[in-house]
Each structure stands twice: as C-alpha cells, then as structure tokens.
Amino acid sequence: MSNNNKNKWVPVRHHLPGVDAYIHPVRGLRVLLSDEKHSDGKMWQHLSVSCENRLPTWEELVFAKEEFMGLEVEALQVIPKRSEHVNLHEFTLHVWHCLDGDVMPR
C-alpha cells in the first residue's frame, strides 16, 4: 500500500445487500454502513464499528462516526432491552443517525 493510501478506508467485498463495508488497515477498524427505513417510519443510517479482538475505543467509535456520518451529525448509541439484544460479533459497537430529522431529546 502506498504512503498516500495508508490512512484511508478500503472498501471490502461482502454478501450483505444494501450495506457498504470498509476496513482501516492502520487503525485495525472494520465498518459496516447502511441506510434503512425502520418501524418508526423514518430513515436511519446505521454504522457498526468493530475490531478483531477487542471493542473499539470511544475515540475510535467517534473517528469512524465522523468519517462516515460527518462532524456535525448527531448519532445515537443504544443499549437495547435484554430480550431484543442481538450479538453477531462480540467486539462491535453501533451508532444510528436519523436521516429524516432530529431525534435527540432537548
């Protein structure tokens, strides 16, 4: 990899329709990004950030969120009810951003 590209996100081929996947070779981060309409009728952008053998740090999560969603975009990290918790990869964190408006309580 050239020096010009060593700090860039690299697209990854995968089998998930409607999902973009990237890795950051230098930081060891993996990202999945998708947009979809949820049961609230709104469009949400979902970003999952993972590392191979550990949870991403807060700084790594913020770095990926700002890279893919923007610096001035508010995003939510949710802790679901235990009965609705899904864990496909133990070292993954998730954030969501509403594409249809502000959902943050004020």
Q: What is the residue whose two structure tokens read 């679901």?
A: 80
**Residue 104 within a domain:** no
Please give the Cα distance from 43 to 77 (Å, whole number).
16
Read off φ and ψ for residue 94, nearest 5 degrees.
Answer: -130, 145
**Residue 13 within a domain:** yes
CATH number at residue 92: 3.40.1720
- For the chain, the domain total comes to 1
Please give the Cα distance from 31 to 88 (Å, whole number).
14
Tokens of 51: 């590392």
Q: What is the residue whose two structure tokens read 């993972």?
A: 50
Predicted TM-score (pTM) of this structure: 0.85
pLDDT single digits (tens) 58-71: 999 999 999 999 99
Q: How high is the pLDDT of residue 7?
A: 64
**Residue 103 within a domain:** no
**Residue 18 within a domain:** yes
**Residue 105 within a domain:** no
pLDDT single digits (tens) 77-103: 988 888 877 777 789 999 999 999 887
Task: Tell me which residue range forms the domain holding 11.
Answer: 3-98
